[in-house]
Structure 1
Amino acid sequence: MSGFAWEAFARGLAPCAGAALLVLLVAFSVGVRRGMHRGVDVAWGLGFAAVALVSYGLSAGEGEGETTRRLLVTVLTALWGLRLGWHIARRGRGHGEDPRYGKMLAKAPGNPDLYALRKVYLLQGALVWLISLPVQAAGYVIGPVNALAWAGTALWVVGMFFEAVGDHQLARFKADSRNRGRIMDRGLWSWTRHPNYFGDFCVWWGLFLIVCQAPAAAAATLVAPALMTYLLIGGSGKALLERHMADRPGFAAYAARTSGFFPRPPRRD
């Protein structure tokens, strides 16, 4: 069991919130200039990377915590956030507004840009700060890295595999014009209908495990992976996407044979 530098951790909360807010405000200014707000999804991953880097600098400057754990969490979070941001930016290149945001802003009362700032950018900035609490806390855990941290790293690796490979497989599938209108049911997508969301789930529970060496810090930051799990399964992830896909030809059969979230071999027809 390890200790935790509560006062130093508390001093870092506001600067980390400022880092998340800055990334989202820059994305907002870009969105206003371009006349569309799909770039906020790119800022989501970049916001986590920014918080991780700021937290690393603050905790190292405080002289608290342990260097290996601090560096480990920062690298893992930055890799995840930068890969996600790059993937979403590449996927959206050459496309117009995201239909989700277009539909929402078409009904916005008053100025659509200011509505997007309140309902999308500031909300996502707050979520980035809240969900990244284990990342912020990891730099202030006192004591050498133990088996929980390496178990968390292994879970992170599983998550990155599912997320990155799933995204790559889906991109290749969509690039083939012969698949237009068809349901992606190959590779990892035959084991789970949402390998990318399952990957996110593993990444954030893995990062949380790294903090669990200090039980009090783990209890204080448990809200972060729990909230991410809700968003992935019941919020803006799986539940929302499947409502949009429910009427597509072949989706009902695909859903009947393929796990909704946690991977398993597909059922036989």
Structure 2
Amino acid sequence: MSALPDLVAVLAVEVAIVVVAMAITAWASLRAGRYSVVDTTWGLALAAVSVTAAVGGSVLGAGEPWRSWLLAALVSIWGIRLSWHMHRRNSGHGEDPRYAELLAGSTPLQRVVKVWMTQGAAVLLVGLPVTVASVTAGGWGPLVPVGLALWLLGVSFEAVGDAQLARFKADPANRGKIMDRGLWSWTRHPNYFGDACVWWGVWVLSLTTPWSLLTVIGPLAMTWFLVVATGARLLERHMAGRPGWAEYTARTSMFLPLPPRRGTRRNPRETR
């Protein structure tokens, strides 16, 4: 790969930025008394990586500037919206149950590894398609509209799902109830599904050479985090056993949006 030296140079700068971002996040987490602060950093860190890649490619005279800056813009729009949403959702609240379960019984060193080092490595891994695209040339092909469509679907799905849940929780009449309306009646995790679509769209947009196919590890890793590692599975383990949850899971797809299954009645007294 002739662009390897440029790729190494851009990655080196990205690693430095991510290390600083996670160090600041660790300090903020200790002040706030909760590890979920890292959720706010997640989107901003990926936005910073995408902008760094675009700047690095431009400085090195590598890649296609239009693609690099398009990817930087799309990732930044997604990342800033997500970080603002997570900040508003988590501020003033205690620890996220997912982190409480993940870190139960951990030593301080294990927490550093599980939270900040893992999240930092994940940022670099998920952002790899954007980084590689910044130093490899490729014209405007038929996959560009496909990538844009996937990104738009994802960011719209995620934003709408978050807004629907926020309105639901803001109504005192819904206190303790399960959110099973709107997009949440088609998938139990519309926000996670939207996230996955965003990053599959970014990957499609980043495809410039056969080498780019190897960066599929980025969207695969993101999907794994969302479904298995720190997303849906941990959240569902926390929800299991609550009144009405079994009925909700019986009629609603876990991840991919599908019409609600027939034959399972909705209980208006279900609680979340």
* Global fold match (TM > 0.5): yes
In 2, Cα distance between the equivalents of 1:163 and 1:74? 19
Aligned CA distance change for structure 1 residues 267 and 102 (closer, same or farther; 3 Å): closer
Q: Which amino acid aligns with 1:231?
A: F
Q: Which amino acid aligns with 2:234?
A: L
1:177 aligned onto 2:175: no
User: Is the CA contact (8 Å cut-off) linking 1:77 and 1:135 kept in structure 2?
Assistant: no
1:245 aligned onto 2:239: yes
In 1, Cα distance between the equivalents of 2:32 and 2:158? 29
Partner of 1:88: 86
Partner of 1:263: 257
In 1, Cα distance between the equivalents of 2:233 and 2:190? 14
Deviation of the 1:150 alpha carbon: 2.1
Residue identity over aligned pairs, in percent, reads 48
DSSP-derived class of the 1:213 partner? coil
Q: Output the TM-score relative to the length of structure 2.
A: 0.91
Shifted more, 77-86 versus 250-259: the winner is 250-259
In 1, Cα distance between the equivalents of 2:52 and 2:257? 35
In 1, Cα distance between the equivalents of 2:45 and 2:259? 35
Q: Which runs of 5+ in 2 are unaligned?
A: 264-272
In 1, Cα distance between the equivalents of 2:153 and 2:82? 15
Shifted more, 188-197 versus 210-219: the winner is 210-219
User: Is the CA contact (8 Å cut-off) linking 1:211 and 1:218 kept in structure 2?
Assistant: no
Aligned CA distance change for structure 1 residues 230 and 186 (closer, same or farther; 3 Å): same
Aligned CA distance change for structure 1 residues 78 and 190 (closer, same or farther; 3 Å): same
Deviation string 1:40-70 (CA, Å, 9 cap, x unpaired) is: 1111111101111111111110111112111
1:231 aligned onto 2:225: yes
Partner of 2:41: 43
**Residue-pair matches, total:** 263
DSSP-derived class of the 2:36 partner? coil
Deviation of the 1:6 alpha carbon: 3.0
Deviation of the 1:33 alpha carbon: 2.6
DSSP-derived class of the 1:38 partner? helix
DSSP-derived class of the 1:234 partner? helix
1:127 aligned onto 2:122: yes
User: Is the CA contact (8 Å cut-off) linking 2:98 and 2:234 kept in structure 1?
Assistant: no
RMSD: 1.7
Q: Which amino acid aligns with 2:253?
A: S
1:217 aligned onto 2:215: no
Q: Which runs of 5+ in 1 are unaligned?
A: none
DSSP-derived class of the 2:35 partner? coil
| Equivalences for residues 72-83 of structure 1 within 5 A | 72-83=70-81
1:156 aligned onto 2:151: yes
Partner of 1:165: 160
DSSP-derived class of the 1:222 partner? helix
In 2, Cα distance between the equivalents of 1:150 and 1:140? 21
Deviation of the 1:7 alpha carbon: 2.6
Deviation string 1:91-132 (CA, Å, 9 cap, x unpaired) is: 0121123333345556233xx4x5432321111001111111
Match for residue 55 of structure 2 among 43, 54, 57: 57
Deviation string 1:127-148 (CA, Å, 9 cap, x unpaired) is: 1111110011121231322121
**Higher RCO structure, 1 or 2 (CA under 8 Å, sep 6+):** 1
DSSP-derived class of the 2:229 partner? coil
Q: Which amino acid aligns with 1:230?
A: W
Q: Output the TM-score relative to the length of structure 1.
A: 0.92
DSSP-derived class of the 2:119 partner? helix
Q: Which amino acid aligns with 2:190?
A: P
Q: Which amino acid aligns with 1:211?
A: S
User: Is the CA contact (8 Å cut-off) linking 2:187 and 2:252 kept in structure 1?
Assistant: yes
